[in-house]
Amino acid sequence: MKFSRGFTLPELLLVLGIIVILLSVSVGSILRPQRQSTLSTTAELLLTDLKSQQQKAISGLTVDGSGPSAFGIHLDSNQYQIFSGAVYSPSDTGNFTVDLDLGFEFTSDFSQNSIVFSPASGETGALNTLTLTDTQSGFNVTYTFNRYGVAISQN
């Protein structure tokens, strides 16, 4: 009797194919919670910055010595600028820019992509919605801000 030792090429390709499929499924399920966590952390950082700007406006903080100032945040697709004043000015050297991780972007219905908190009251004057999306995974976080600047999560 003659027995052959080893595997045939189709058998090896089949086993390798199964291994590749299993690895791709497991890597995807490992990375998904990390992206969700990063999205949540980024959203919390933005909310913290928004609340900080609102508190500055409520406290009556002055920037140029002419009285209480408005404070706000201007949104671009993948970053936001923290600013003082009633209107965002891109040339103002006092603006502070926060860049988002790759794959995250904003969409909002803010007037001129800015939310501005009024001096003394901290109100925004309108109902606004902000969505932060992870374009790689499709996950998003949506917040609605009432006219008093209170953020309500829609997720």
- Residue 77 lies in domain: 36-153
Question: Whole-model pTM?
Answer: 0.77
Question: How many of the other CB atoms lie within 10 Å of CB of 102?
Answer: 10
User: Does residue 48 sit within a domain?
Assistant: yes
For residue range 12-45, list pLDDT tens digits in order. Answer: 899 999 998 888 877 766 767 888 888 889 899 9
pLDDT of amino acid 22: 85
pLDDT under 70: residue ranges of the chain: 1-4, 28-29, 31
Q: State both tokens at 35.
A: 């992206």
pLDDT of amino acid 2: 66
User: Does residue 2 sit within a domain?
Assistant: no
For residue 133, give the CATH number of its domain. Answer: 3.55.40.10
**Dihedral (C-alpha) 98, 103, 104, 108: value to the nearest 10 degrees?**
120
**What's the structural domain count of the chain?**
1
